[in-house]
Structure 1
Amino acid sequence: MLRVGLTGGIGSGKSTVARRLVQRGAVLVDADALAREVVAAGTDGLAEVVEAFGPDVLGPDGELDRPALAGVVFGDDTARARLNGIIHPRVRGRTEELIAAAPPDAVLVQDIPLLVEAGMAAHFALVLVVHADVEERVRRLVELRGMPEADARARIAVQAGDEQRRAAADVWLDNSGDQDALRAAVDELWDTRLVPFEENLRSRRAVRGGAPRLVEPDPGWAAEGARLAARVAAAAGERGRGASHTGSTSVPGLVAKDVIDLQLGVESLADADALRDALQDAGFPHRPDIVADNPKPEGSAPWPKRCHQSADPGRVVHLHVREVGSPGWRYALLFRDWMRADPAARDEYAALKRALADRHRDDPDAGGYAEAKEPWFDAALPRAEEWAAATGWVPVP
């Protein structure tokens, strides 16, 4: 199934997005709802909360008095950690039960308010962040929830800021204005990205990059590369030896196809093969037809690797899995770092790319474009090696 993380600051309107996704067919696992469920009247969770914080957090109806509990733990890190130690394991257990019960073709949306703060973004195939301006969020909390303004601002202040959420977001949904516009954006996301993503994931079908269409450098590529590399590293776990952003989109100022290249290091290709299903489940189907890189210089033995690509129609990714220390692994890092450090070489390569992309603009899979660049790579390798020797460069993923 496709697992999607949904988050946003308090008052952002995340619940509105969640409801619309459910209306369109998503399976929702709501962390806030589960947090209430595991401390409902009569549960062992509530009994443990009362034991930890006293009978004053229990209402006359036998339910948890949430405002009273909030007054005890808000601003007290020790008390909040104790409460989390009671609630979080129970929520995780219920979450696992609900995920196991979902259909195998589900678009499963996990609504987690503190997804970013808890460092959970890398464990989802896609992360949706709902945003609203701070003043609009304060207004909603005061007018719609009856919260004192000082409390609203205090709660917003202890959550992640916009910069942190943007770094985690594959999709940024702005809910500062019209609700109809928000619903339309969610519908478009469902139809054009979430449903095709799930179908591709279930079928182990990769999204292809298509013809060589170059675009101007995008400052957002660096954050995307870092986010996707973290996702790959999380999927690889202990078998991984570093995931990094490589290729043209990793070089600031370089024109490129809008494709994020990633490299995952492994001890051996046996480890790469053992990781195949985990990477596919994370959103990166295997390409069994790609088993090696063209060597540098041309004519030597091919450089073995494994290749995966993204199932996400909204983001083309090429994931190269190579043995740490192998020629292909080293070259990917050398090329990236040399291009970053040498503006003249970067400009020379950009001019070549433009000329070849125009010549091969009707190439449906960019194979001819890629092949035509190989002589330049061969000729440029000695210059890259000279730069590495002069600077004392060492490969760092």
Structure 2
Amino acid sequence: MKFIGITGGVGAGKSEILHYLETKDGVKVMLADEIAHELMLPGTECYQKLKDMFSDEDIWNEDGSFDRKKLATVIFSDEKKRDALNGIVHPAVKKYIRTVADTERENGVLKILVLEAALLIEEHYDEICDELWYIYTREDIRKERLMRSRGYSPEKVQQIFDSQLQEAVYRKYCKVVIDNNGTVEDAIRQIDLAITNMENE
């Protein structure tokens, strides 16, 4: 089994690529965001730590769960709070992912396990993935996409871009770069080639 980590800036179009990978035989896709969301639900260890930390913030739904939009606003505007949240959630997510990867290797059924994570490099997933892939899309395309699909203001988009890694860092750590500035078909061709190359190594 090969374990691939996929990353890229917000709005890079990773979802379409992951959707394609999910359709392939012997491939399982994990999303770090979804895992984090599960681990932050009421009743979990992460949730209790975060409830203590953010008790004075207006980020709670009536059922006690987090309002994810309000939480995002708080952590994107306050680096200390973002770091504090990451310090609780990311180690728990990484532990969960490592367990899944170990289990899948032992089972010996999967050909490829894929993990998508925004902070793949910052959280040192290169230590547990076989290789990292970078989905590259120009900033102007990503900006237009985020403003259209999520209704973000130009300032909000720039704030998010500023909190993410520079392109050169992605390229330094990632073995494969998928150019996603063209059509979905173009990106898929690159993915198929990358998988073939990986399997032939």
Quickly name the TM-score band, shorter chain normalised: 0.7 to 0.9
Residue 130 of structure 1 deviates from its aligned partner by: 0.2
Cα drift, residue 106 of structure 1: 2.9
- Residue equivalent to 2:52: 51
Decide whether aligned partners of structure 1 residues 150 and 133 sit closer, same or farther in structure 2, where only a CA change above 3 A counts: same
CA distance in 2, matches of 1:177, 1:60: 43
Residue of structure 2 aligned with 1:166, choices 144, 155, 171: 171
Q: Against the structure 1 CA distance between its residues 96 and 118, is the aligned structure 2 distance closer, same or farther, given a 3 Å change threshold?
A: closer
- Identify the residue that residue 112 of structure 2 maps to in structure 1: 107
2:189 counterpart (184, 189, 194): 184
* Superposition pairs of residues 91-130 of structure 1, within 5 angstroms: 91-102=93-104, 103-104=107-108, 105-121=110-126, 123-130=128-135
Q: Shift of the alpha carbon at 1:6?
A: 0.9
* Alignment-derived partner of residue 197 in structure 2: 193
Match of 1:277 in 2: none
Q: Percent identity?
A: 27
| Maintained 8 Å contact 1:5/1:124 | yes
CA distance in 2, matches of 1:13, 1:34: 20
**Partner-residue secondary structure (3-state), 2:5:** strand
SS in 2 for 1:129: strand
Bigger radius of gyration: 1
Contact 1:20/1:186, CA 8 A, preserved across alignment: no
RMSD after superposition: 2.0
Query: Contact (CA 8 Å) 1:50, 1:57: kept in 2 or not?
Result: no
Answer yes or no: is the 8 Å Cα contact 2:12–2:136 preserved in 1.
Answer: yes
Alpha-carbon distance in 1 for matches of 2:95, 2:128:
17
CA 1:97–1:120: 2 relative to 1, 3 Å: closer
Runs of 4+ that moved beyond 6 A: none
Q: CA–CA distance in 2 between the matches of 1:99 and 1:141? A: 32
Structure 1 gap ranges (5+):
198-311, 313-397
Inter-partner Cα distance in structure 2 for 1:168 and 1:8: 12
Extract unaligned runs of 5+ from structure 2: none
Name the TM-score, length of structure 1 as normaliser: 0.46
- TM-score for the superposition, normalised by structure 2: 0.87
CA separation in 1, counterparts of 2:84 and 2:163?
18
What is the CA distance between 1:119 and its match in structure 2?
4.0
Please give the alpha-carbon distance, in whole angstroms, between the structure 2 residues aligned to 1:125 and 1:45: 28
